[in-house]
Structure 1
Amino acid sequence: MKKTIILFTLFQLSCFIYAQTNSEITKKNQEAIINEYVTNCAKKYSYNYQMAEWQNCLDEGLKKDSTIAYLWQQKAMPYFKARKYEIGMQYIDKAVQYDPREWQPYRAFIKCIFAKTYREAIIDFEDCIKKYGNGYRMDHTYAFYIGLCYLQLNEYEKAEKLFKEYNDDIFKNRQGLEHPTALFYYGISKYEQKRWEEAIVEFDKALKIYPNLSDVKYYKAICLARLEKKEESSKLYKEAEQDAKMGYTINEDNTVYETYPYQVRWK
């Protein structure tokens, strides 16, 4: 009996060592393919005007190993930036298939900010939270983006709850590092419920961190007008317009490609 147990243990150990060794070999092979077909091929081109060359490099890499999630993501990314969302989505779905932990949150972010398929984004983000916890993507939690989706779906109470939780957590655990965008959207969730004074409180917190944020000033000016403070509102509106001309707006990385919810586009 003891001999059988020992033999079984040795067999399990050998299987584990084999699997680990095989995994390391696969990882090294995939890294070599990425280096050859992304670093030394695709990235020598600009997908803005050499999309075919960029995609050809990645396709050659996928011929070597079609299970490399990063290659699929790199195929998808420039299509999203070109606003060809359906084309890009078929590739990011493949990336999620092969590495869901890394690329499912990214796909959910794309659905929220780029493709603007808000209900689908909520499903993806909620699944990510269930499987991996409330992690971060592009500087914000998954729950923050769910809040944005609810704003865009006119479900303001749900959005407010999520933004309150997010801002409370930031204040408690990262005091001094409050995020103006998070405070802005918390204010917007109250603004949409016509709670003008409460919205102004959050807008002022955002302006304390980012004093020239034109989008915040714009919505605060509307709140002031609704409170019959027309002179103060007019003055702030003019400030917002001038700040916008100077480029002071929501400074999330992807505003280069997409307009964020409630971001003001001045004529």
Structure 2
Amino acid sequence: MDSTIAYFWQQKAMPLFKQGKYEVGMTFIDKAVKYNPERWQRYRAFIKCIFSKQYKDAIIDFTDYQETYGYGFEMDHSYNFYIALSYLQLSEFEKAENLFEKDYERTIDKKGEDWLHHLDLFYYGISKYELKKYEEALVLFDQALERYPQFSDVQYYKTKALYKLGEIEEAESVYKSAKENARKGFSINEDNVVYERYPYQVRWN
């Protein structure tokens, strides 16, 4: 096997990440990036954000990649989505909010509202919630629920926002629905959720 074939190194790394062996896997994905950065640097940044939780490194990788190759997507979400998600996890909520807002506006401008993704809306709403902008958070949570009505994690945080606003009766109704949908398995539905718990994903048990 030619060691310069980047795909070979990525294939060696992938099962290790799925087993939680992040440090070992990262040595292989680093080699994939070395031989083909245009293809694998954005993947490495994704791994750092979702799998190994190296949020500062994920921001560096995605920012550098975007400056070099331009705006784009990895695993169905924009690079800015993952940068903003990393800022959320670093408790830098204003930075997260600003990036989610830019992506929200870009999507509407380029594609239209129908292209807004329920997960993007959820995390944009979370950034508002963390900044105590509860009414604005509710607008985004409702937009997410329009696209994925059984999304229990959104319903859970909608409940919390409603409580903050004193809407107790509605909050209790939404919470009841959230628990039922969670029991049925309606949660974050990204492919890699079988390997990793996503940020703000609710633990019900």
- 1:225 maps to a residue whose letter is Y
The alpha-carbon deviation at position 84 of structure 1 amounts to: 0.4
Q: Which moved more, 1:227-236 or 1:103-112?
A: 227-236
| Counterpart for residue 69 of structure 1 | 6
| Counterpart for residue 186 of structure 1 | 124
Q: Deviations over 1:209-246 (max 9, x none)?
A: 11110010000000111111111111111100100111
* Identical positions, percent: 59
Runs of 4+ in structure 1 displaced over 3 angstroms?
Answer: none
| Counterpart for residue 202 of structure 2 | 264
For 1:203 and 1:87, how far apart are their aligned partners in 2?
38
Would you say 1:100 and 2:37 are equivalent positions?
A: yes
| Counterpart for residue 74 of structure 2 | 137
The alpha-carbon deviation at position 96 of structure 1 amounts to: 0.3
**Which of 5, 12, 15 is the equivalent residue of 1:78?**
15
| Counterpart for residue 183 of structure 2 | 245
For 2:123 and 2:199, how far apart are their aligned partners in 1?
9
For 2:60 and 2:166, how far apart are their aligned partners in 1?
41
Alignment of 1:112-151 (within 5 A): 112-151=49-88
The alpha-carbon deviation at position 184 of structure 1 amounts to: 0.5
- 2:36 maps to a residue whose letter is D
Q: Which moved more, 1:86-95 or 1:223-232?
A: 223-232
Would you say 1:231 and 2:169 are equivalent positions?
A: yes
The alpha-carbon deviation at position 143 of structure 1 amounts to: 0.9
TM-score by length of 2: 0.98
For 1:206 and 1:170, how far apart are their aligned partners in 2?
15
The alpha-carbon deviation at position 266 of structure 1 amounts to: 1.2
For 1:233 and 1:146, how far apart are their aligned partners in 2?
31
The alpha-carbon deviation at position 134 of structure 1 amounts to: 1.6
RMSD: 0.7
For 1:90 and 1:189, how far apart are their aligned partners in 2?
33
**Which of 199, 202, 210 is the equivalent residue of 2:140?**
202
- 1:131 maps to a residue whose letter is T
Alignment of 1:47-62 (within 5 A): 61=1
For 1:265 and 1:87, how far apart are their aligned partners in 2?
28
For 1:139 and 1:160, how far apart are their aligned partners in 2?
20
For 1:206 and 1:103, how far apart are their aligned partners in 2?
30
| Counterpart for residue 156 of structure 2 | 218
The alpha-carbon deviation at position 133 of structure 1 amounts to: 0.6
Return the index of the structure with the highest Cα Rg. Answer: 1
The alpha-carbon deviation at position 265 of structure 1 amounts to: 1.8
Q: Deviations over 1:167-215 (max 9, x none)?
A: 1111222221210001111100000011111100100111111111001
Would you say 1:156 and 2:99 are equivalent positions?
A: no
The alpha-carbon deviation at position 138 of structure 1 amounts to: 0.3
For 1:89 and 1:243, how far apart are their aligned partners in 2?
36
